[in-house]
Chains A and B, each alone.
Chain A
Amino acid sequence: MSRFLMDPRRRAWLFAALLVLAVGALGASGGARYLAHLLALAAALATAALGLALVQGRAGQVCLGQGAAMAAGAYAWAALAPHSLPLALAAAAAAGAFAGAAMALPARSLSGLPLALASMACAVIAEVLAMRAVAFTGGTAGRFVAPPALSAFDEASAALACSALCLGLAVLLLYRLDRTALGRAWRALAQAPEAALALGLDVGGVRQLAFVASGLCGGLGGAAYAQTLGFISPEQFALPLSFELLVIAFLGGLRRPVGIILASLAFVALPELADRLRPLVGTLGGWDPLVLGLAVVFIAVFRKMD
């Protein structure tokens, strides 16, 4: 045990886990169903953020458009889930991967900030498309996602099961990919892009594939998100969501999924903590985002010192 604590990184994780547990206990006072909702939401966000960690940690690029992949997955899931759950899951993953591929189009020739901005443009376009494709998305009025027909579960548990499944699939996918030639190519690209180029690696193509894999995770995350909230509308997938995911990926670190999962748990649980502290400040508008913002700054500084 003491050897386990010698490693400062492990100590930091233990600290984070304790924090999340403590805040989770606060959320639990809302009842088991409410806690299940929070956990399901955290799992959905973690699934999508995992893709970002791949793009950033492996391909060395910043993606500002993960919201587009989530939107694609969410609407695909909403349309097909009433008919067949496995089909809906596959469609959500495919739709997300397709959105990722669209974002990857400029990745062959662009990198760095221009590529990040291009991916951001994709998120904006996706929002407009979702608003205009009224027949499929319900337009700005939004559309409902029927509770899944899993008779063994109530609504909240079913959403949690669905989110956990999506998260598991995404983790499994990344774990498998990391051990293929493509995974090695990504690692080479992240560690020494020039060397990778000198070795004859198709840098642009490898980068594009990272976006596609990331989009797939985003699509799965979108499906989980849609099922958890039960209602989706275009503005939910606008830029703030993409930036939230980026913050989760940054806070969670890019190396291991567990970091991302903890970060999204903290991200979902922090507003609960802010809510508990509310009696100290009274009814103050914008209190929750303020606490969240301060916490992000604090964690960023804390991580840097580590």
Chain B
Amino acid sequence: MRVLCFAVIALIALTAAPVRAEQVLSVGALLDLSGPAALLGVPLKNGMEMRFAEANARGELPGITLKLLVEDTGYDPKRAILAARKLIERDGAIAFLSNLGTPVVLATMPEILRRERLHLFPFSPHEATYAPLHPLKFQIYAPYRSYMDPAVRAVLRRHPQLRRVCTLVQDDEFGEEVSAGVRAGLERAGLALTQEARHARGATDFTGQIARLRAAGCELVALGTLVRETVAILRTASEMGWKPLFLTSASAYSDQTHALGEAAVEGLYGVTNPLRIPYREGASPELLAWLDAYRTRYGAEANVWSAMGYVAAELLVRALAAAPEPTPAAIAQALEKLDYPGDMFGSPRYRFSPADHLGQRTGGELTRIEGGRWVSLERLDGPSE
């Protein structure tokens, strides 16, 4: 009986909400902490949490305490829908920030918008996250299509002798997006695609595709592949003694690419979408201080996902500071007027307007692996419409 009493008291203690004089603003995040994208979920959560904690500690938003409520979706749309409902009904979340994964985002976004909550900067470069225009949805990650176009033209400008451009992409929607962007860029540069090759999701052997591209005499191969596939493709090519130029989409812009690929990936072009990997070496004092603060707080090194979480939270904090009242509609109006000039992470300039809720369209910078790390070469800001 005593145990039962104790259990009841413990349950009440757990469910009782703490009483505070300040207004607590709940911000929800549907992240994957246990599924296939868990590698991204944890640093993303840490980055957002860190920015909110800073805002609260410094009193940046008078009268407002920010609270991040993370729900683990396991990359499963069903769990995500239930979690979104819980965050709306039970916790009264006024905004969702950096929801992770296209299946999760597509499943939950309509209901979040229907319940008039903000849907901000989801981790899904899908057109539906900003178009058609909705007053409450905002995006800062451009679709693959829109930045592969300026990226391929930037590489062509650097190597004017290139004529034969090919693609090797994953055989699904993601690969098709990359391929479409490359074709658009080539068309504008007055070239046509020489050869196209595809591979099944999760493939490990690319000998056939490489042989075909080599036979077609490709000089630049644009890749729509993930980290492991990119490394395997470049290794196979180099083992076969073939050394064309390679350009990969942001999906392989990761420090794992050069950690796994070593010498074989030297000279690989890539694109940031849109932040730089926060390397310790050569970091500005400001970035170094941030990296140290992150390491002290979480006992782990920050990576590009932590920085993306931090910047997403930064944009929300700025909009809140500018909004006359902390309601979704007022925050959305403040976002539409926001002009974010960029930061120590290499963010591009983010601007929204009442007619356009995609903050940037070019995917950031053209980068290249030189000396075992990604080096930023130039900002991609050619028109992509």
A interface list, Cβ under 8 A from B? 26, 29-31, 33-34, 37, 41, 140-142, 144, 229-231, 233, 235-236, 271, 275-277, 279, 283-289
Q: Which label, helix, strand, loop or mixed, suits the secondary structure of the B interface?
A: helix
Contact yes or no, A230 B111, CB < 8 A: yes
Are A34 and B89 neighbours in the complex by a CB distance under 8 Å?
yes
Asked whether, in the complex, the Cβ of A233 is within 8 Å of the Cβ of B77, the reply is yes
- Whether the pair B11, A276 counts as a contact (CB closer than 8 A) is yes
CB distance from B83 to the nearest CB of A (A): 9
- The answer for the CA separation of A286 and B41 in the assembled complex, in Å, is 12
Query: Within 8 Å of chain A (Cβ to Cβ): is B110?
Result: yes
A18 to chain B minimum Cβ distance, whole angstroms, is 12
B51 within 8 A of A: no
A30 pairs with B86, CB closer than 8 A: yes
Chain A residues lying within 8 Å of B103, measured Cβ to Cβ, are: 140, 142, 233, 235
* B164 interface residue (CB < 8 Å to A): no
A267 to chain B, nearest CB (A): 13
Between-chain CB contacts (< 8 Å), 29 pairs: A26-B15, A29-B15, A30-B85, A30-B89, A30-B90, A34-B86, A34-B89, A37-B82, A140-B103, A142-B106, A142-B107, A230-B110, A231-B81, A231-B106, A233-B77, A233-B103, A235-B76, A235-B103, A236-B76, A236-B77, A271-B82, A275-B86, A276-B11, A283-B45, A285-B41, A286-B33, A286-B34, A286-B74, A287-B72
Query: Beyond A231-B81, A285-B33: 19 further Cβ-contacts under 8 Å?
Result: A30-B90, A31-B89, A37-B82, A41-B82, A140-B172, A140-B173, A141-B106, A142-B77, A142-B107, A230-B111, A231-B110, A276-B11, A276-B15, A283-B70, A285-B41, A286-B33, A286-B72, A287-B72, A289-B34
Question: In the complex, which residues 67-119 of chain B have their Cβ closer than 8 Å to any Cβ of chain A?
Answer: 70, 72, 74, 76-78, 81-82, 85-86, 89-90, 103, 106-108, 110-111
Closest residue of chain B to A280 (Cβ to Cβ) is: B14
In the complex, are the beta carbons of B89 and A288 less than 8 A apart? no
Residue B237 lies at the interface, judged by CB distance under 8 Å to chain A: no
Known: A276-B14, A285-B38, A285-B41. A144 touches B110 (CB 8 A): yes
Which of B14, B38, B41, B107 interacts with A279 by CB under 8 Å? B14
Instruction: Give min CB distance, A227 to chain B, whole Å.
Output: 12
